[in-house]
Copies of this chain bind each other. A is one copy, B any other.
Amino acid sequence: MKKMKLRHNLKGQLVCLAREAKEASRVLAAVSSEKKNTVLKYMAESIMAGKEQILAANAKDLKNAALKRLGKAFVERLALDERRLMEMAESLREIARLEDPVDKNIRSWVRPNGLAISKVSVPIGVILIIYESRPNVTSDCVGLCFKSGNAVILRGGSDAINSNLAIYEVIAGVLDRYGLPRSIVSFIDSTDRKAVDVLLTLDEYINLVMPRGGESLIRQVRDRSKIPVIKHYKGVCHVFVDDGADFIMAQRIILNAKVQRPGVCNAVETLLVHQNLAEDFLPTMIESLQDAGVQVRGDLLTRKIVKGLKVATEKDWSTEYLDLILSVKVVKDIDEAVRHINNYGSSHSDTIVTQNEANAQKFLKEVDSACVYVNASTRFTDGYQFGFGAEIGISTDKLHARGPMGLEELTTYKYVIRGNGQIRE
């Protein structure tokens, strides 16, 4: 692990760091699965062994956050405690238990001329992660990148710098102990915003950028990057309650998707209800949402059924509230629901509550989102929930990867072709 203190020659230093990361990625690619798993388990142990330093560093960040009067949601994401450290360690152990995603034979075939072609999974190379306040992202990203054979360059938010550095010191010690190059994990220990701009031009060394943060940060990275970017713009997720749906199930799913953790991307923002059940379903549903502290905004039909609601405007349909707010619309049928989702949604996660198998299939096929659900909460769109151990991010892009990204999504492939002297006629 390489810690970067930026001084004078910013560009030169970053080029050097990125080049060393590239070289280290080649060393890591040759490390056996067994050794990688041993190192990961030792990282987990070391995080628990280093908990005092990590929590002390986190206390400094929390103190600074209080001085800066940063918001409650921010502090909630930043704060570490023993339970959260245990979760970080458990993610690393879970990643160690998962199958190595590299060097897998994806497909093999033989051509008429005798050439034997295999498509084999390989690491991507060097991955740059730009993230904000959550310190667990540091260990999750190190774990996933390490297991998938990728060098990683971490650029965390300045408000979590002490916590991130403490976690990184622990991981650095583990790499040293196992004789692995420090450049397998690099940490940009600088709050100079120019550092990111420089890194985004280094497409010779860095193969992928994953910005994790607000939509404007991500658009900035996309506009400036010469390196391919996998993006997560926002989560405008929907629940559609179909005609004939089980009311109790629909109510539980909607409350869970809205209320359990409203500040995250896989929380629901818009409820669509089939016109045939709107009158029976909406009054109780909206009452229970309001009881849970949710502000409900309705379209014309919803407001006819339940009086006194705020108006849902055109803008509401594409807004990610990240808050206890829900927009509600009554739709004619499943076709209108699908059109609405494809038109206003963010291709993230959408669910249908239904007892009708034909409609379930139609929804799964026609809704153009990374994760499409039948009879379950959208809150499951998450690497850990999917069984990936952790996630490097969630993609709302369509290229390379969609939805929660775990180990497999951190690989690419090469074609391995064996012949016995074949030439092209």
Chain A interface (Cβ < 8 Å from any Cβ of B): 26, 29-30, 109, 111, 115, 117, 122, 124-125, 207-208, 222-223, 226, 228-230, 246, 249, 252-253, 255-257, 260, 342, 360, 364-366, 368-377, 379-381, 385-387, 397-400, 402-403, 412-424
Q: Are B372 and A422 in contact (CB under 8 A)?
A: no
Q: Are B115 and A380 in contact (CB under 8 A)?
A: yes
A252 to chain B: closest residue by CB = B423
Q: In the assembled complex, which residues on chain B have CB atoms less than 8 Å from the CB atom of A207?
A: 398-399
Rounded to whole angstroms, the CA-CA distance of A420 and B360 in the bound complex is: 12
A382 to chain B: closest residue by CB = B424
* Contact residue among B208, B342, B413, B424 (Cβ-Cβ distance under 8 Å from A380): B424
Closest 5 CB pairs of A and B: A376-B419, A256-B423, A379-B424, A400-B400, A249-B421
Q: In the assembled complex, which residues on chain B have CB atoms less than 8 Å from the CB atom of A385?
A: 111, 424
* Contact residue among B222, B413, B421 (Cβ-Cβ distance under 8 Å from A226): B222
Q: Are A375 and B418 in contact (CB under 8 A)?
A: yes
Q: In the assembled complex, which residues on chain B have CB atoms less than 8 Å from the CB atom of A372?
A: 414-417
Q: In the assembled complex, which residues on chain B have CB atoms less than 8 Å from the CB atom of A226?
A: 222-223
Task: For the complex formed, measure the closest distance between the CB of A9 and the CB atoms of chain B, giving whole angstroms.
Answer: 23
Other contacts beyond A228-B397, A402-B413: 8, CB < 8 A: A125-B368, A228-B399, A249-B420, A249-B421, A369-B414, A373-B418, A374-B417, A374-B418
Rounded to whole angstroms, the CA-CA distance of A255 and B249 in the bound complex is: 69
Task: For the complex formed, measure the closest distance between the CB of A412 and the CB atoms of chain B, giving whole angstroms.
Answer: 5
Q: Are A124 and B398 in contact (CB under 8 A)?
A: yes
Q: Are A208 and B376 in contact (CB under 8 A)?
A: no
Task: For the complex formed, measure the closest distance between the CB of A265 and the CB atoms of chain B, giving whole angstroms.
Answer: 13
Q: In the assembled complex, which residues on chain B have CB atoms less than 8 Å from the CB atom of A400?
A: 399-400
Per DSSP, are chain A's interface residues mostly helix, strand or loop, or mixed?
mixed
Q: Are A368 and B417 in contact (CB under 8 A)?
A: no
Q: Are B387 and A412 in contact (CB under 8 A)?
A: no
A417 to chain B: closest residue by CB = B373
Q: Are A379 and B423 in contact (CB under 8 A)?
A: yes
Q: Are B399 and A414 in contact (CB under 8 A)?
A: no
Q: Are B421 and A253 in contact (CB under 8 A)?
A: yes
Q: Are A399 and B415 in contact (CB under 8 A)?
A: no
A395 to chain B: closest residue by CB = B412
Q: Are A375 and B423 in contact (CB under 8 A)?
A: no
Q: Are A115 and B376 in contact (CB under 8 A)?
A: yes
> Can you list 27 A-B pairs, Cβ within 8 angstroms, ordered by A?
A29-B365, A111-B385, A115-B376, A115-B380, A122-B368, A207-B399, A223-B226, A228-B397, A249-B420, A252-B421, A256-B424, A260-B423, A360-B418, A368-B414, A371-B415, A372-B415, A373-B417, A373-B418, A375-B420, A376-B422, A380-B417, A380-B422, A380-B424, A399-B400, A402-B412, A402-B413, A402-B415
A114 to chain B: closest residue by CB = B376
Q: In the assembled complex, which residues on chain B have CB atoms less than 8 Å from the CB atom of A366?
A: 26, 30
A256 to chain B: closest residue by CB = B423
Rounded to whole angstroms, the CA-CA distance of A230 and B374 in the bound complex is: 34
Rounded to whole angstroms, the CA-CA distance of A116 and B255 in the bound complex is: 22
Q: Are A416 and B364 in contact (CB under 8 A)?
A: yes
Rounded to whole angstroms, the CA-CA distance of A413 and B400 in the bound complex is: 9
Q: Are B423 and A377 in contact (CB under 8 A)?
A: yes
